[in-house]
A and B are shown apart, each in its own frame.
Chain A
Amino acid sequence: MNTGRVVITGIGAISPLGLNVSGLWEGLCGGKCGIATIQAFDPVGFTCRLAGEVAAFKIRKHVPKSHRKATKLMCRDIQLAIVAAEEAIADAGIITKATDPANINFDPPRMAINVGAGVICCNIEELSPAIIKSVTDGKFDLRKFGTAGIEAVTPLWLLKYLPNMLACHIGIIHDIQGPSNSITCGEAGGQIAIGEAVEIIQRGNADLALAGGCEAKVNPLLMLRQCILGRSTSENNDDPDGACRPFDAEAKGSVFGEGGGMVVLETIEHAQERGAKIYAEVAGSASSNAVNIGYSHIEPDGKGIEIAIEAALAEAGIDAGQLDLIIPHGTGIPADDRAEATAIANVLARGTAGAKDAPVWPTKGMLSHTGAGAGAIDVVTAAKAIAEGKTGMGKNCNNKAEGCELNIITEPIEKDFNYILCSSYTFGGQTAAVVLKRV
């Protein structure tokens, strides 16, 4: 019996605030900041020298013996995703081939996986020796690269950088044999992946799913990209704590980072039958997109964000006035924040009286912008807020920017949250929204 109600029964996160959900949650509630000067490489020539980096961990400890050799094929994005997935699966009480092969308690072909991933830039450090072997008279020589250069590259090089490999490695480690997808919608990928996984369960193609998103943006090429696109702040290099200021009048741009969030999803009947604890129901999800000639930013009126939120609310069958909390994308990029604030305000304005006062909790001032991981981390945060009945507060957003007329919380809230909305969008224009409901 499948009533179409899908719930979250496990959560996992790896972020600049910690290697697990408790690190994330305590960090967010304590107003900590995971942003600091970049450690991964020397950023001295970069206009933004800040990032949200994840603390050191040993990936070999997070994979079973049979998969240890494959750790050589894992770029940073894959490693982070594996850690977050491990936590979510364990938290849900799912026993897999990796955790205890004698007591597996799910049917592998009936479990799906859906992971939002970013573009995975090749690691220049790894590639550079081959490029240097391909130089003639001080210049890169493609003909040399075709012979000596290529031979200097590790044979399985390509497999490290395919964005589908996050889902593939996790699937192999935990023996997840059902539908598997890799959503590549930039920074909206995590929430779109969660929404699609819910649909896969609803239509009966899986009993269980692992879904989320993960990305590691802290490498020279991706950080350069954010700098030259004018997305990252170049004015706060000496003030990491105050650098990322969502919806704030002093915002100068975002700070990018690395991290990911994962959730285990299943029908409510399946969860009840196996006695799983339930964090929340995914009551609605939707996606849309901007139609925008200047597609490096979101369209100024936020129309695509608004459409996605409206559709997610409709799917949840609720009025905007029933929202107890909104976790927005809120990046600290002034134009994008104004667009999102406009979209949210428009939705709330159509709700019942009082809807416009819905509390809004931006998290990137603490977490930085973790790309495809960001929206999924927000869903994990929302699930935790429902379970704990409390929030932290926004950081660096005390002085609202003009055009950002939202009720951004400056004090923690303690209450039973019945409905929480998470919103996200990306350069290129895709948007996503997820509504969680207390069960």
Chain B
Amino acid sequence: MNANKVVITGMGLVCPMGHDVETVWAGMLSGKNGMAATTVFDASTFPSQFGAEVKGYDLTGSVGRPDRHKYANRGSQFVLGAARQACTQAGIDVETDKPADGIDRTRMGIYLGAGEGSVDNENFFEAIVKGWDDDSSEMDWSKWAKVAFGQMTPMIELEQEPNMPAAHVAMMTGARGRTRSCLTACAASTQAVGEAAMLVRSGKAEIMITGGAHSMIHPLGVMGFSRLTALSTRNDSPETASRPFSATRDGFVLGEGGAIVILESLTSAKKRGAKILAELIGFGSSSDAFRITDMHEEARGAVQAIKSAIADAGIECQDIDYISTHGTSTSENDSIETRAIKTVFGDNAANVPVSSAKSMFGHLIGATGCAELITCILAIRDDVLPPTMNLNDPDPDLDLDYVPNKPRKAKVDVAMSESFGFGGQNNVLIIKRFCE
């Protein structure tokens, strides 16, 4: 099989710290974060009353044909902005019926790790309340149907399906090549980028528009994570609530966003004269096959994914200059992830700087992996490591170099990005500074 080199030629990001890559990055290097009290809905009585929302984002100002996306859910809206930025940087024409970029649309695909949209909250809850039968203490579906058929609307229902963000990106870009969407919980967009890279490597696609989109900042989403006790409840201090690897970490901060990178074969990038931002050299995927509720105690799946990415990249552990961790700020993830890195890197583990972008922009769930990959591209570009913020109470059991609280200048040629999903699906990407 032919093996094309896979390079990154565009990136776009809409996340709680800004609506474009450079704003987010500047914020990350200057001590900012995206946390604040929840405003999307009234969370004032919820166990966790804050989050990392995308603030002040307006689809109309972010895309050229907003009328085509008027029903788009939050995740789709964010990823449309990100896709437009990424395509523009890569020189891919969007929002036109007659692209002049010379790209064969059947050789350009889409692969998103995308989440479902929120239920139609008001109507959803009202239909249940009105459909409830007090006498039997159960739902009366004919009563429910009366309200639901009367008030729920086709497009808002359709937009809850997790393949909708990809549909919107298709409308924007005209891509007709291999198109997929996956949802492996918190690892989804890392998996999407990885599998998209494999499509380019094998020649099944020349260009892939890939990344993630998700928002679970809605009553049922926050309820679900709260019941799992996965969210930080540090309501008096949202800004310091996400504290990965700290002894006082108490859960993640729920974020939302959209992130896109453009992957393409080196041949295609050169032919088009696209600027190459980095080379994607390794992808590893595994499953814990352990428990639905917990990660494997010895980090078996995480270790396998990391090792397999390193093998795929054809490099050695010591070649890796920086790791962007999954680093959620939950007790379990941060200790097991530390264990995984120590298992793979052995005596060298203490020498590899690792940090968590989630300490700044929160956990973007399905979109998080690609957003974090973008920070790796920037770390290589600028030779600087983004910090792990809020790390003032080191956990005595966690003893890696977490780049605490301040960015650090460092030579970064190779960076690795890790994502581990609920249920045990693990995905790891490795990128490298591009040189001829």
Interface residue ranges, A against B (CB under 8 Å): 4, 41-47, 70, 73, 108-109, 113, 117-119, 122, 124-125, 127-129, 131-132, 135, 138-140, 142-147, 149-150, 153-159, 161-165, 167-169, 171-172, 174-186, 192, 196, 199, 202-203, 205, 220-221, 224-225, 227-230, 286-293, 295-296, 303-304, 307, 311, 426-431
Residue interface bits B186-199, CB-to-A below 8 A is 1, else 0: 00000100010011
Asked if B423 and A168 make an inter-chain contact with CB atoms under 8 angstroms apart, the answer reads yes
Of the listed stretches B289-297, B345-353, B381-389, chain A binds B289-297
Find the B residue at minimum CB distance from A153. Answer: B227
| Chain B residues, Cβ within 8 Å of A163 | 116, 162, 183
| B43 lies within 8 A of chain A by Cβ | yes
Find the B residue at minimum CB distance from A155. Answer: B227
Asked if B304 and A296 make an inter-chain contact with CB atoms under 8 angstroms apart, the answer reads no
Asked if B175 and A176 make an inter-chain contact with CB atoms under 8 angstroms apart, the answer reads no
A45's partner among B145, B164, B226 (CB-CB below 8 A) is: B145
A205's partner among B142, B166, B191, B285 (CB-CB below 8 A) is: B285
The answer for the CA separation of A135 and B134 in the assembled complex, in Å, is: 13
Shortest C-beta distance, B115 to chain A (Å), equals 9
Asked if A176 and B287 make an inter-chain contact with CB atoms under 8 angstroms apart, the answer reads yes
| B371 lies within 8 A of chain A by Cβ | no
| B327 lies within 8 A of chain A by Cβ | no
Asked if A135 and B163 make an inter-chain contact with CB atoms under 8 angstroms apart, the answer reads no
Find the B residue at minimum CB distance from A430. Answer: B179
Asked if B132 and A128 make an inter-chain contact with CB atoms under 8 angstroms apart, the answer reads yes
Residue interface bits B1-31, CB-to-A below 8 A is 1, else 0: 1000000000000000000000000000000
Asked if B425 and A186 make an inter-chain contact with CB atoms under 8 angstroms apart, the answer reads no
The answer for the CA separation of A158 and B225 in the assembled complex, in Å, is: 7
- Besides A109-B304, A156-B293, A158-B225, 6 other CB < 8 A contacts? A145-B219, A156-B292, A177-B301, A199-B198, A202-B202, A427-B163
Asked if B164 and A428 make an inter-chain contact with CB atoms under 8 angstroms apart, the answer reads yes
| Chain A residues, Cβ within 8 Å of B195 | 181, 196
The answer for the CA separation of A4 and B204 in the assembled complex, in Å, is: 14
With contacts A4-B1, A156-B293 known, is A140 near B129, CB below 8 A?
yes
With contacts A172-B292, A177-B289, A288-B176 known, is A228 near B228, CB below 8 A?
no
Q: Which of A147, A184, A196, A304 has the most CB of B within 10 A?
A: A184
Asked if B180 and A183 make an inter-chain contact with CB atoms under 8 angstroms apart, the answer reads yes
| Chain B residues, Cβ within 8 Å of A172 | 288-292, 424
The answer for the CA separation of A179 and B285 in the assembled complex, in Å, is: 5
Shortest C-beta distance, A283 to chain B (Å), equals 15
Shortest C-beta distance, A113 to chain B (Å), equals 7
With contacts A132-B132, A164-B421 known, is A150 near B227, CB below 8 A?
yes
The answer for the CA separation of A217 and B195 in the assembled complex, in Å, is: 28
The answer for the CA separation of A127 and B116 in the assembled complex, in Å, is: 18
Asked if B161 and A287 make an inter-chain contact with CB atoms under 8 angstroms apart, the answer reads no
| Chain A residues, Cβ within 8 Å of B289 | 108, 171-172, 174-177
Which residues 119-159 of B sit at the A interface, judged by CB distance below 8 A? 119, 125-126, 128-129, 131-132, 137-146, 148-149, 152-155, 157-158
Of the listed stretches B44-52, B85-93, B263-271, chain A binds B44-52
Shortest C-beta distance, A209 to chain B (Å), equals 12
| Chain B residues, Cβ within 8 Å of A186 | 161, 163
A307's partner among B106, B166, B167, B286 (CB-CB below 8 A) is: B106
| B42 lies within 8 A of chain A by Cβ | yes
The answer for the CA separation of A4 and B423 in the assembled complex, in Å, is: 30
Residue interface bits B404-436, CB-to-A below 8 A is 1, else 0: 000000000000000001111100000000000
| Chain B residues, Cβ within 8 Å of A128 | 128, 131-132, 138-139
Shortest C-beta distance, A246 to chain B (Å), equals 22
Asked if B141 and A180 make an inter-chain contact with CB atoms under 8 angstroms apart, the answer reads no
The answer for the CA separation of A46 and B10 in the assembled complex, in Å, is: 47
Q: List 7 A-B contacts (CB under 8 A).
A: A113-B287, A125-B139, A167-B287, A169-B292, A180-B425, A203-B1, A289-B175
Shortest C-beta distance, B118 to chain A (Å), equals 12
With contacts A227-B149, A228-B149, A289-B167 known, is A162 near B157, CB below 8 A?
no
Shortest C-beta distance, A106 to chain B (Å), equals 13
The answer for the CA separation of A336 and B182 in the assembled complex, in Å, is: 24
| B171 lies within 8 A of chain A by Cβ | yes
| Chain B residues, Cβ within 8 Å of A426 | 163
| Chain A residues, Cβ within 8 Å of B181 | 183-185, 430
The answer for the CA separation of A286 and B109 in the assembled complex, in Å, is: 11
With contacts A73-B292, A140-B125, A220-B145 known, is A184 near B158, CB below 8 A?
no
Asked if B422 and A159 make an inter-chain contact with CB atoms under 8 angstroms apart, the answer reads yes
With contacts A47-B149, A167-B425, A224-B152 known, is A127 near B286, CB below 8 A?
no
With contacts A171-B424, A230-B154 known, is A428 near B45, CB below 8 A?
no
Shortest C-beta distance, B107 to chain A (Å), equals 10
| Chain B residues, Cβ within 8 Å of A184 | 114, 162-163, 181-183
| B160 lies within 8 A of chain A by Cβ | yes
| B310 lies within 8 A of chain A by Cβ | no
The answer for the CA separation of A161 and B204 in the assembled complex, in Å, is: 33
Asked if A288 and B227 make an inter-chain contact with CB atoms under 8 angstroms apart, the answer reads no
Asked if B144 and A220 make an inter-chain contact with CB atoms under 8 angstroms apart, the answer reads yes
| Chain B residues, Cβ within 8 Å of A192 | 180
Asked if A180 and B292 make an inter-chain contact with CB atoms under 8 angstroms apart, the answer reads no
Asked if B129 and A287 make an inter-chain contact with CB atoms under 8 angstroms apart, the answer reads no
| B394 lies within 8 A of chain A by Cβ | no
Shortest C-beta distance, A212 to chain B (Å), equals 15
Find the A residue at minimum CB distance from B140. Answer: A42
| Chain A residues, Cβ within 8 Å of B182 | 181-184
The answer for the CA separation of A46 and B146 in the assembled complex, in Å, is: 9
Asked if B142 and A44 make an inter-chain contact with CB atoms under 8 angstroms apart, the answer reads yes
The answer for the CA separation of A70 and B224 in the assembled complex, in Å, is: 18
Residue interface bits B39-79, CB-to-A below 8 A is 1, else 0: 00111111100000000000000000000100000000000
| Chain A residues, Cβ within 8 Å of B137 | 129
| Chain B residues, Cβ within 8 Å of A142 | 41-42, 45, 219
Which residues 213-243 of B sit at the A interface, judged by CB distance below 8 A? 219-220, 223-229
The answer for the CA separation of A431 and B167 in the assembled complex, in Å, is: 11
The answer for the CA separation of A46 and B170 in the assembled complex, in Å, is: 33
